[in-house]
Structure 1
């Protein structure tokens, strides 16, 4: 979809911003460009929509040389999101979002309907936010409007220049998550510029690590972190790159344990085994302690030779034992979707101090698939950080 063929950008003062750059971005792929300030990543992106003209070489979008296309027409067909958003302060959120469709000749009613649809898609109710002005929004909300506006004409290509860089870390992480969900549905071809390595790793199908004016390595985040191509890349991604791999290493079927399973309204199992409790729809409800755990919790003791539950002797059971799974079940709050990252799983285990993490179907119904135990998670972590030998 996007192809760079031996592209160089050299300025009049002799500065070379990009030097003999050749790479491709496939249709529906998100490639992050990451590197230090002044390395040429933003210049690269701006040559796609002719905000910067190449000195030599060719940039092609869908097989056409961009220099053979009128720049205004080209830019109307390419979504563009920048750090400072660039919303028109005198226009409402709905009018801002409808800008490009209107410029392309779409009628006002149709353009506003499309804008409302996209605002809803990025998590802004058009009935609440449509009539507001940009200065009435938070930074994160303005960024969402910027993304909606870039998508309004349904462009095949989306250029994003540090779009989440101006918001606080909590909002930034939320915006990244929302954008990943959006991209999974829309599958735009995206060039995403960032100086944040964590963001590049989290978002990119592939990531390009820039040196000065050139790409040192272009590969999947897992490969870049696990097998840096050059000493420069190894230094850039850092000594803790093995830990960063956890963010891009998915939880897989092979990692799962499958302990006994019981249903919520079943009677307590006779074997007294520890088990996962599922609701009627096959979703994880909780877990059932084994017989030994339950006995310890109920304080079962024997004093003066009297067995628990007999008469009123000291030491008898004072709490009624559960009779059904529902009565005996404990909540199991730690859960991750299959395909979620090992980092998510490790974080959930620490957050909930959990012995089991429920792994569920990622398609939205939350159906139970198995559990991650500390042992299985440790094994997966070891394979992740040690599975690729650096070159």
Structure 2
């Protein structure tokens, strides 16, 4: 979808911002450009919508050389989100969001309907927030409007320059999660500029790590963390890259252990006797379909009337199998648990222990991070029914 061929940008004062840059971004791919200030990452992005033109080389968008495109027409086909959002203060949120469709010739009613649809998509009720003005919104809400406005004309390409950098860490975390949800649904081709390696790892399908005007490594987050291409990249991603790698390492079925279990409708006394014979002090509680309903202790059930269901306790420490080792580790620490349940929907698959977490991370680092699935699922609460 986006291709750079030997692109160089040199300013009139002799400053070399980008030096002989060549790389490709696939359709539906989210690529993060990360590096220190002044390394050329924003210049790279601004050349895609011709806010800047390269000194040498060519840039292609959807197979077409953009040097021959009308800049205004090109920009209306490319969404653009900046740190400060750039909303018009004298226009309502709904009209701000409808800006590009109106400029592209849409009828006002159609543009406003599209704007309302996009506001709802980014989590802002158009009936509530549409009539408001930017000054009446929080920083996080303004950033959501900026994203909605960039998506309003349904552009195939989205450029984002430090889009979440102007908000506090809590809001930033929520915005990142919301954007990942949107990207999973919309599959836009995205170039996102950031100086934060944590954000680059969390959001990117691939990462371009910049040195001075050039890309030092272009690869998946797992590969950048697991096998830095140079001492510069290793230093940039940090000495704690093994910990960062937890966030891009998926849970493998082979890492799971199967603990003792008791059936939901099993008589409590019989379950306790079986656990005692097996030397088990506790067991997970499953229904007939293998769904997790909690856990029970052997001593609490000994001599207890009724079924296991009457004694079962809620299981708080768990993650979906589509989650990451970072999620598993975080939940383990949060609940001070010696293990964490792994679920496929409501179905119980097994448990992940600290030993298995450590083994999985060592294996990932040893493989250089290649071929490791990268999932982005969220942790919810355990289903009780």
TM-score (norm 2): 0.89
Question: 2:274 pairs with 271, 278, 301, which one?
Answer: 271
Residue 254 of structure 1 deviates from its aligned partner by 1.7
- Please name the residue that 1:294 is paired with: 300
- Please name the residue that 1:207 is paired with: 207
Label 1:160 to 1:20 Cα distance change in 2 as closer, same or farther (>3 A): same
Unaligned runs of 5+ in 2: 371-385
Greater mean alpha carbon deviation, residues 212-221 or residues 375-384: 375-384
Distance (Å, rounded) in 2 between the aligned partners of 1:84 and 1:294: 58
Distance (Å, rounded) in 2 between the aligned partners of 1:366 and 1:185: 23
- Please name the residue that 1:53 is paired with: 53
SS of residue matched to 2:190: strand
Residue 360 in structure 1 maps to residue 325 in structure 2: no
Is contact 1:252–1:339 with CA below 8 Å preserved after alignment?
Answer: no
Label 1:185 to 1:261 Cα distance change in 2 as closer, same or farther (>3 A): farther
- Please name the residue that 2:142 is paired with: 142
Label 1:119 to 1:346 Cα distance change in 2 as closer, same or farther (>3 A): same
Deviation digits for residues 204-251 of structure 1 (CA, Å, limit 9, x no counterpart): 111000000000000011111111111111111111111111111111
Distance (Å, rounded) in 2 between the aligned partners of 1:37 and 1:389: 27
Residue 90 in structure 1 maps to residue 98 in structure 2: no
Label 1:93 to 1:209 Cα distance change in 2 as closer, same or farther (>3 A): same
- Please name the residue that 2:293 is paired with: 285
Residue 260 of structure 1 deviates from its aligned partner by 4.2
Deviation digits for residues 283-311 of structure 1 (CA, Å, limit 9, x no counterpart): 4321122x2x537xx8xxxxxxxxxxxxx
Is contact 2:49–2:78 with CA below 8 Å preserved after alignment?
Answer: yes
Q: How does 1:99-114 map to 2 (within 5 A)?
A: 99-114=99-114
Residue correspondences, number: 362
Distance (Å, rounded) in 2 between the aligned partners of 1:389 and 1:331: 35
- Please name the residue that 2:316 is paired with: 333
Distance (Å, rounded) in 1 between the aligned partners of 2:211 and 2:10: 16
Q: CA RMSD in A?
A: 2.0
Residue 23 of structure 1 deviates from its aligned partner by 0.2
Is contact 1:357–1:371 with CA below 8 Å preserved after alignment?
Answer: yes
- Please name the residue that 2:359 is paired with: 379
Distance (Å, rounded) in 2 between the aligned partners of 1:340 and 1:85: 31
Distance (Å, rounded) in 2 between the aligned partners of 1:282 and 1:79: 46
Deviation digits for residues 28-57 of structure 1 (CA, Å, limit 9, x no counterpart): 111100000000000000000000110010
Question: 2:329 pairs with 335, 341, 346, which one?
Answer: 346
Deviation digits for residues 158-192 of structure 1 (CA, Å, limit 9, x no counterpart): 00000000001111111111111111111110000
SS of residue matched to 2:316: coil
Is contact 1:80–1:160 with CA below 8 Å preserved after alignment?
Answer: yes
